[in-house]
Structure 1
Amino acid sequence: MNQLIIRVATVQDVAELQRIGRQTFAETFAASNSEQNMQNYLTEGFALDKLMVELQNPDSAFYFAELAGTVVGYLKVNTGPAQTEAQAAPALEIERIYVLRANQGQQVGQALYEQALTLAAQARAEYVWLGVWEENPRAIRFYQKNGFVEFGQHVFTVGDDAQTDILMKRPVPGARP
């Protein structure tokens, strides 16, 4: 099997980020959302100008997972004011871990998650947190397996559909509470 490479995504990768972002989001959620809501989200959420702003934010970072030179998944993390919810302690948010359907079950998501833990330790975060759609049991199980516990909820909007995300967190190994 080809070796998985995790690398930083830069502004030069914006078109590839748009492609992988749209494809993985559609593969994951299209069956559970209306076509119009999906199209609106894919157009607005992955607009090139929006992605450029996100890529240039010093409190956010994107990483690609590559197999044989092909991007098969990606990670987005946020710290400080870039987090989608204010946190009481130093924390790192995993905003996105997405893997192409064809590459799920190949430890790509786990490798991206481990990259996030490394980044959290480097940032001296006390915990890692995320929001996961309440109707995505596969992702919920993945995070529970990795030590995450529920601590709240927030709304995530796809088109005009307000959906509930479960907020989950876990301590960063070696962090002081």
Structure 2
Amino acid sequence: MTPIHWRRAVPSDAPALSLLGGATFLASFAHDHPGPALIAHIQVAHAESYYRVALHDPAQHLLIGETPLGAPVGYAMLTPPDLPIFTDERDDVEIKRIYLLGPWQGGGRGDALMELLADHARHRGAKRMLLAVYPQNDRARRFYARHGFQEIGETTFMVGDVPFRDLIYARTL
């Protein structure tokens, strides 16, 4: 099994993050999201400019995963919480994005990434990790449950101009 090397993303990684973000979002949701809405969402939410801004924000932490040859195959993003529930920026952190390209899923790679995120959250003093997940994404929901996340609420996630219901999960650190 080819290993993934995880490192903190830097501003020059914005193009790779944009490609990964668009590819993984499309692969994850093309089966039941309207095409025009998907494309509109990806063009904004996964634009290089979006990642450039995030990479210059000290409150955000982005990891990028690469093969030994430097090909990007996954990424994750921790941010201050932005969910419609009570949060405390000192105690809470949100996993805004966590994705691996399909061929790189399995074999404990996602587990290792989740623990890297938990370690970083603890290091910055967080006591809880939050995330939003699409209810029909059973694989992701099982993964989060395995890592101690529990449902605590719900939110609306816009994909282009189409609203989708997401579940809010929390994990105590």
TM-score interval, normalised by the smaller of the two chains: over 0.9
Please tell me the residue identity of whatever aligns with 2:115: E
- Residues matched between the structures, number: 169
CA shift for structure 1 position 31: 1.2
Contact in 2 for aligned 1:73/1:109 (Cα 8 Å): no
RMSD (CA atoms): 1.3
Write out aligned runs for 1:146-165 (5 A): 146-165=147-166
Moved more, 114-123 or 1-10: 1-10
Q: Which residue of 2 is the match for residue 84 of structure 1?
A: 82
- Segments of 5+ residues of structure 1 without an aligned counterpart are 173-177
After the TM superposition, which parts of structure 1 deviate over 2 Å for at least 4 consecutive aligned residues? 1-4
Q: How do 1:56-71 and structure 2 match up within 5 A?
A: 56-68=56-68, 69-71=70-72
Q: Which residue of 1 aligns with 2:9?
A: 9
TM value normalised by structure 1: 0.90
Query: Is the Cα contact below 8 Å between 2:11 and 2:56 reproduced in 1?
Result: yes
Aligned residue type for 2:41: Y
Q: Secondary structure at the match of 1:50?
A: helix
- Within 2, Cα distance between the matches of 1:96 and 1:120? 14
Alignment partner of 1:22 is 2:22: yes
Paired letter, 2:22: R
Output the CA distance in 2 between the equivalents of 1:158 and 1:11: 26
More displaced stretch, 46-55 vs 131-140: 46-55
> For the residues of structure 1 that align with 2:25 and 2:78, how far apart are their CA atoms?
17
How much has 1:103 moved relative to structure 2?
1.1
Distance (Å, rounded) in 1 between the aligned partners of 2:111 and 2:27: 19
